[in-house]
Chains A and B, each alone.
Chain A
Protein backbone atom coordinates (compact mmCIF):
# COMPACT_ATOMS: atom_id res chain seq x y z
CA UNK A 1 0.00 0.00 0.00
CA UNK A 2 1.30 3.45 -0.90
CA UNK A 3 2.31 5.76 1.95
CA UNK A 4 2.30 8.82 -0.31
CA UNK A 5 0.36 11.78 1.16
CA UNK A 6 -3.00 12.33 -0.54
CA UNK A 7 -3.37 16.06 0.25
CA UNK A 8 -6.39 15.14 2.38
CA UNK A 9 -5.38 15.24 6.11
CA UNK A 10 -8.12 12.79 7.18
CA UNK A 11 -7.12 10.21 4.58
CA UNK A 12 -3.44 10.66 5.44
CA UNK A 13 -4.16 10.03 9.15
CA UNK A 14 -6.11 6.83 8.37
CA UNK A 15 -3.44 5.76 5.88
CA UNK A 16 -0.81 6.02 8.62
CA UNK A 17 -2.85 3.58 10.70
CA UNK A 18 -3.64 1.27 7.79
CA UNK A 19 0.01 0.67 6.90
CA UNK A 20 1.17 -0.15 10.43
CA UNK A 21 -1.71 -2.33 11.57
CA UNK A 22 -2.61 -5.88 10.68
CA UNK A 23 -5.12 -6.74 7.98
CA UNK A 24 -8.67 -6.29 9.27
CA UNK A 25 -12.14 -6.47 7.70
CA UNK A 26 -14.08 -3.25 6.93
CA UNK A 27 -16.28 -3.89 10.01
CA UNK A 28 -13.22 -4.31 12.23
CA UNK A 29 -11.61 -1.16 10.79
CA UNK A 30 -14.72 0.95 11.40
CA UNK A 31 -14.85 -0.17 15.04
CA UNK A 32 -11.08 0.28 15.37
CA UNK A 33 -11.26 3.82 13.94
CA UNK A 34 -14.22 4.82 16.15
CA UNK A 35 -11.78 5.98 18.84
CA UNK A 36 -10.09 8.19 16.23
CA UNK A 37 -13.37 9.91 15.29
CA UNK A 38 -12.85 13.15 17.26
CA UNK A 39 -9.43 13.65 15.67
CA UNK A 40 -10.67 12.75 12.17
CA UNK A 41 -13.65 15.12 12.48
CA UNK A 42 -11.31 17.85 13.80
CA UNK A 43 -9.04 17.38 10.77
CA UNK A 44 -11.98 17.45 8.34
CA UNK A 45 -13.39 20.62 9.96
CA UNK A 46 -9.94 22.26 9.86
CA UNK A 47 -9.65 21.37 6.17
CA UNK A 48 -13.12 22.83 5.43
CA UNK A 49 -12.28 26.03 7.34
CA UNK A 50 -8.96 26.24 5.46
CA UNK A 51 -10.75 25.89 2.11
CA UNK A 52 -13.17 28.69 3.03
CA UNK A 53 -16.21 26.38 3.11
CA UNK A 54 -16.89 26.83 6.84
CA UNK A 55 -15.98 29.46 9.38
CA UNK A 56 -15.17 28.69 13.00
CA UNK A 57 -16.91 30.67 15.74
CA UNK A 58 -16.60 30.34 19.50
CA UNK A 59 -18.86 31.51 22.27
CA UNK A 60 -19.17 31.00 26.01
CA UNK A 61 -22.11 29.39 27.73
CA UNK A 62 -22.63 30.25 31.42
CA UNK A 63 -19.20 32.02 31.31
CA UNK A 64 -17.35 28.73 31.63
CA UNK A 65 -18.44 26.23 28.98
CA UNK A 66 -17.06 26.86 25.53
CA UNK A 67 -19.22 26.29 22.48
CA UNK A 68 -17.66 25.98 19.03
CA UNK A 69 -19.73 26.16 15.85
CA UNK A 70 -18.95 25.93 12.16
CA UNK A 71 -21.43 28.01 10.13
CA UNK A 72 -21.42 27.32 6.38
CA UNK A 73 -20.09 30.33 4.44
CA UNK A 74 -21.94 30.26 1.10
CA UNK A 75 -23.42 26.75 1.18
CA UNK A 76 -22.39 25.82 -2.36
CA UNK A 77 -20.48 22.62 -1.44
CA UNK A 78 -23.14 21.49 1.04
CA UNK A 79 -25.91 22.10 -1.50
CA UNK A 80 -23.94 20.26 -4.18
CA UNK A 81 -23.50 17.18 -1.95
CA UNK A 82 -27.24 17.15 -1.15
CA UNK A 83 -28.15 17.54 -4.83
CA UNK A 84 -25.89 14.66 -5.83
CA UNK A 85 -27.54 12.44 -3.19
CA UNK A 86 -31.02 13.48 -4.39
CA UNK A 87 -30.04 12.91 -8.01
CA UNK A 88 -28.81 9.40 -7.13
CA UNK A 89 -31.99 8.65 -5.20
CA UNK A 90 -34.43 10.00 -7.76
CA UNK A 91 -32.59 8.82 -10.87
CA UNK A 92 -32.51 5.35 -12.34
CA UNK A 93 -28.97 5.32 -13.71
CA UNK A 94 -26.06 3.62 -12.01
CA UNK A 95 -24.38 6.29 -9.83
CA UNK A 96 -20.63 6.92 -9.83
CA UNK A 97 -18.62 4.99 -7.19
CA UNK A 98 -18.11 8.29 -5.30
CA UNK A 99 -21.84 9.06 -5.18
CA UNK A 100 -22.66 5.46 -4.24
CA UNK A 101 -20.39 5.70 -1.19
CA UNK A 102 -21.57 9.24 -0.37
CA UNK A 103 -25.22 8.11 -0.32
CA UNK A 104 -24.45 4.86 1.51
CA UNK A 105 -22.42 6.51 4.27
CA UNK A 106 -24.85 9.44 4.63
CA UNK A 107 -27.65 6.89 5.06
CA UNK A 108 -25.65 4.73 7.50
CA UNK A 109 -24.74 7.81 9.54
CA UNK A 110 -28.30 9.16 9.72
CA UNK A 111 -27.36 12.29 7.75
CA UNK A 112 -30.27 12.08 5.29
CA UNK A 113 -32.71 13.14 8.01
CA UNK A 114 -31.22 16.66 7.81
CA UNK A 115 -32.78 17.32 4.41
CA UNK A 116 -35.33 14.55 3.74
CA UNK A 117 -38.50 13.81 5.69
CA UNK A 118 -39.09 10.40 7.27
CA UNK A 119 -41.82 9.74 4.69
CA UNK A 120 -39.45 10.53 1.80
CA UNK A 121 -36.73 8.32 3.27
CA UNK A 122 -39.24 5.47 3.69
CA UNK A 123 -40.47 5.93 0.10
CA UNK A 124 -36.90 5.85 -1.27
CA UNK A 125 -35.79 2.87 0.85
CA UNK A 126 -35.86 0.47 -2.12
CA UNK A 127 -33.59 2.67 -4.23
CA UNK A 128 -31.24 3.17 -1.25
CA UNK A 129 -30.95 -0.59 -0.76
CA UNK A 130 -30.28 -1.01 -4.46
CA UNK A 131 -27.54 1.66 -4.57
CA UNK A 132 -25.91 0.96 -1.19
CA UNK A 133 -25.87 -2.77 -1.90
CA UNK A 134 -23.50 -2.18 -4.82
CA UNK A 135 -20.59 -1.21 -2.63
CA UNK A 136 -18.86 -3.69 -0.31
CA UNK A 137 -17.35 -0.89 1.75
CA UNK A 138 -20.75 0.70 2.44
CA UNK A 139 -22.18 -2.69 3.43
CA UNK A 140 -19.25 -3.18 5.84
CA UNK A 141 -19.78 0.24 7.45
CA UNK A 142 -23.53 -0.38 7.83
CA UNK A 143 -22.82 -3.74 9.42
CA UNK A 144 -20.24 -2.22 11.84
CA UNK A 145 -22.64 0.55 12.92
CA UNK A 146 -25.45 -2.01 13.46
CA UNK A 147 -23.08 -4.20 15.49
CA UNK A 148 -21.98 -1.22 17.61
CA UNK A 149 -25.60 -0.18 18.24
CA UNK A 150 -26.53 -3.73 19.30
CA UNK A 151 -23.54 -3.83 21.69
CA UNK A 152 -24.51 -0.47 23.20
CA UNK A 153 -28.15 -1.51 23.59
CA UNK A 154 -27.03 -4.74 25.25
CA UNK A 155 -24.71 -2.84 27.61
CA UNK A 156 -27.60 -0.56 28.64
CA UNK A 157 -29.74 -3.59 29.48
CA UNK A 158 -27.15 -5.07 31.85
CA UNK A 159 -28.06 -4.85 35.54
CA UNK A 160 -26.20 -2.10 37.41
CA UNK A 161 -25.12 -4.48 40.21
Chain B
Protein backbone atom coordinates (compact mmCIF):
# COMPACT_ATOMS: atom_id res chain seq x y z
CA UNK B 1 0.00 0.00 0.00
CA UNK B 2 1.30 3.45 -0.86
CA UNK B 3 1.58 6.24 1.73
CA UNK B 4 -0.21 9.56 1.99
CA UNK B 5 2.64 11.55 0.42
CA UNK B 6 2.86 9.13 -2.51
CA UNK B 7 -0.93 9.43 -2.98
CA UNK B 8 -0.68 13.23 -3.11
CA UNK B 9 2.20 13.09 -5.61
CA UNK B 10 0.16 10.61 -7.66
CA UNK B 11 -2.76 13.07 -7.74
CA UNK B 12 -0.36 15.67 -9.18
CA UNK B 13 0.57 13.41 -12.13
CA UNK B 14 -1.20 14.55 -15.29
CA UNK B 15 -2.40 12.29 -18.11
CA UNK B 16 0.84 12.76 -20.06
CA UNK B 17 2.99 11.92 -17.02
CA UNK B 18 3.98 15.53 -16.27
CA UNK B 19 3.82 16.81 -12.70
CA UNK B 20 1.21 19.53 -12.20
CA UNK B 21 2.43 22.79 -10.72
CA UNK B 22 0.12 23.22 -7.76
CA UNK B 23 -0.58 25.77 -5.04
CA UNK B 24 1.47 23.89 -2.50
CA UNK B 25 4.33 23.14 -4.82
CA UNK B 26 6.41 26.20 -4.14
CA UNK B 27 9.88 25.39 -5.42
CA UNK B 28 8.75 22.25 -7.29
CA UNK B 29 11.41 21.27 -9.79
CA UNK B 30 10.27 19.11 -12.69
CA UNK B 31 13.28 17.95 -14.63
Q: Which of A16-24, A68-76, A86-94, A123-131 contacts B (4 or more CB under 8 A)?
A: A68-76
Q: Which of B7, B13, B27 contacts A37 (CB 8 A)?
A: B27
Query: 8 Å CB contacts to A: which residues of B1-31?
Result: 2-14, 16-20, 22-31
Contact B6 A114 (CB under 8 A): no
B22 to chain A, nearest CB (A): 4
In the bound assembly, the distance between CA atoms of A102 and B8 in angstroms comes to 7
A-B contacts, CB under 8 A, total: 108
Contact B27 A38 (CB under 8 A): yes
For B31, the chain A residues whose CB sits under 8 A away are: 66-68
In the bound assembly, the distance between CA atoms of A70 and B31 in angstroms comes to 11
Contact A34 B6 (CB under 8 A): no
For A77, the chain B residues whose CB sits under 8 A away are: 2, 7, 10
Contact A41 B28 (CB under 8 A): yes
For B12, the chain A residues whose CB sits under 8 A away are: 109, 111, 114
With known contacts A68-B30, A106-B11, A111-B11, A47–B6 Cβ distance under 8 A? yes
For B8, the chain A residues whose CB sits under 8 A away are: 102, 105-106, 109, 111
Is A28 at the interface (CB under 8 A from chain B)?
A: no
Contact A109 B24 (CB under 8 A): yes
In the bound assembly, the distance between CA atoms of A32 and B17 in angstroms comes to 28
Contact mask A34-72 → B, CB, 8 Å, 1/0?
110110110011011001011001000000001111111
B-to-A contact residues, CB < 8 Å: 2-14, 16-20, 22-31
